[in-house]
Amino acid sequence: MFLHLLRNLIFRYLQSRARVQVWLYENQNLRIEGHIIGFDEYMNVMLDQAEEVHMKKGTRKTVGRILLKGDNITLIQNSNPEIDVSGGL
């Protein structure tokens, strides 16, 4: 049930072209922001217009299109909290 809800939420981010922030496993100082353009059943996520966000330094580095492996992802959240795409999930 949980995986179904998670896939639905990621699909809503994909449909709405919302900019998301991805927290990486075992790397609390680096986050990746971008637009989800695809994902699969293993929660591998393809981001476009991606940027590395260094939390301690406060810097950003453009990386373009990137594939993040699902086992490296801790959390996916909307970069713009004013826009709700959760649909009540």
In angstroms, the CA 66 to CA 84 distance is: 24
Domain boundaries, the chain: 2-78
Q: Does domain 2-78 have CATH number 2.30.30.100?
A: yes
pLDDT in tens, 16-69: 999 999 999 989 999 999 999 999 999 999 999 999 999 999 999 999 999 999
Q: Which residues of 5-41 are buried (b: 16+ CB within 10 A; e: fewer)?
A: eeeebbebbbeeebbbbbbbeeeeeebbbbbbeebee
pTM listed for this prediction: 0.84
- Residue 5, pLDDT score: 87
In angstroms, the CA 29 to CA 44 distance is: 21
Task: Determine phi and psi for 3, rounding to 5 degrees.
Answer: -65, -35
